[in-house]
Amino acid sequence: MDIDLIRADTPGLAHGAHLLAAGSALMPRPVIDAVVDHTRREAEIGGYEAHAEAAEALDALYPAVARHINAAAQEIAIVENATVAWCHAFYALPIERGARILTCEAEYAANYVAMLHRAERDGLRIEVIPSDAAGALDVAALDAAMGDDVGLIAVTWVPTNGGLVNPAAEVGRIARAHGAPYLLDACQAAGQMRIDVKALGCDFLSATGRKFLRGPRGTGFLYVRDAWLDRLHPAMIDHFGAPWVTRDAYELRPDARRFETWENSYALRAGLKAAMDYADAIGIDAIEARVRGLAGLCREALARDGRIRLRDLGARPSGIVSFSIEGTDPARIVKGMRAAGFTIGASDPESTRLDAERRGLPTLLRMAPHYYNTEDEIAQAAARLRALI
């Protein structure tokens, strides 16, 4: 990996050390150019005309996403964020009254409130699978919880804080063995680690563009395993996802694009395509190794200060480093770091309420380096942080 070249390609680094890929990472120049160029073209010749002119290149986004996650192009829908992707699959899935949804303790707020919504509306039960000693979803407990009344397994792979990487592929094996539908939230995994939907054994997977994938904000995608396409009726449709074929009838598209609507931001899609290409050109395994390496350095540097308490879980933590500092206002730290040229973030207990309540977590501070960060930036950020406490 040519870090100098990558950094030269990342204009945002001129504004300081951005250490928050888990929030919204810095876009590389090809992504920025793709968004700006398409927007400019829309201004020059009109939005519909710019789309028509670039239609082939824009359609190449589907096979690009599919390649990146080892899926087929017809299994991909492009939407505006990970939550919309997740909800499309979740709300389309038929689940019988009285059935159970199995989930994990690190589940993300957006997903959990949707589960509560369907639980109330459709008479479902939510069962939270306990964590093992390392803090990850306990695979044996999941296996023991399986039964004919499981309507869905919905798990977050890499939570928004807490450093955890849940055993997503083991969950997939259990789901397959019991024939239970499996919806995997890969929002924080995408662009950080290899996603292979076949190895994961998931039926549906949601992800966002702006985080470790380095795409523009307002982009995301949904994967729907093709065996499910016929059985999933979107909770809402328009005449793109379901063309109006006769006066009294529509026909759902045969592919995952039945979850899309007619109007879209093609500039952002062009940016997402550039981001997929950029990640693939570097290589996802190299990215994962560097992200884990830099996150490990962060943890080491922070652990040297007794006032800083690392809050990460799991045997092999992700690139998201979470910590707290007793008696210190996290907002002040984030602000002070920003003023000194270091971007870090805070994550409140409501974003992962089950985990936060179980562990009695306060608002956590988050540092999430990406491969474009350097060892030196991390050392300096840790020193600055220590000075701010």
Ligand X SMILES: Cc1ncc(COP(=O)(O)O)c(C=O)c1O
Chain residues in the site for ligand X (CB under 6 A): 81-83, 108, 110, 156, 159-160, 185, 187-188, 208, 220
CB of 300 to ligand X, least distance (A): 24
| Pairing outcome for strands 182-185 and 125-129 | unpaired
Residue 41 vs 273, nearer CB to ligand X? 273
Closest distance between ligand X and the C-beta of residue 156, in Å?
A: 5
What is the smallest separation between the CB atom of 189 and ligand X, expressed in angstroms?
A: 9
**222 forms bridges with which residues in the sheet?**
77, 206
Q: Quick one: 83 or 131, whose CB is closer to ligand X?
A: 83
Q: How far does the chain reach from its first CA to its final CA, in angstroms? A: 35
Q: How far is the CB of 233 from ligand X (least distance, A)?
A: 22
By C-beta, is 66 or 183 nearer to ligand X? 183
Least CB distance to ligand X at residue 280 (A): 21
What is the number of other CB atoms lying within 10 angstroms of the CB of residue 226? 14
Strands 150-156 and 100-104: parallel
Phi/psi of residue 322, nearest 5 degrees: -120, 140
Judged by beta carbon, residue 192 or residue 208, the one nearer ligand X is 208
**Which C-beta is closer to ligand X: that of 364 or that of 382?**
364
Least separation in angstroms between CB 322 and ligand X: 12
**Which residue type, as a one-letter code, is found at position 63?**
P
**Based on CB atoms, which residue is closest to ligand X, 53 or 348?**
348
CB of 220 to ligand X, least distance (A): 5
Which residue lies nearer to ligand X by CB, 117 or 386? 117
What is the distance between the alpha carbons of residues 365 and 299, in angstroms, rounded to a whole number?
12
Evaluate whether 95 touches 151 at the Cβ level (below 8 Å).
Answer: yes
158: number of CA atoms within 13 Å, CB side?
25
Shortest distance, CB of residue 88 to ligand X, whole angstroms?
Answer: 12
Name which of 50 and 111 has its Cβ closer to ligand X: 111
For ligand X, the closer CB: 322 or 324 = 322
Compute the least distance from the CB of residue 185 to ligand X, in Å.
5
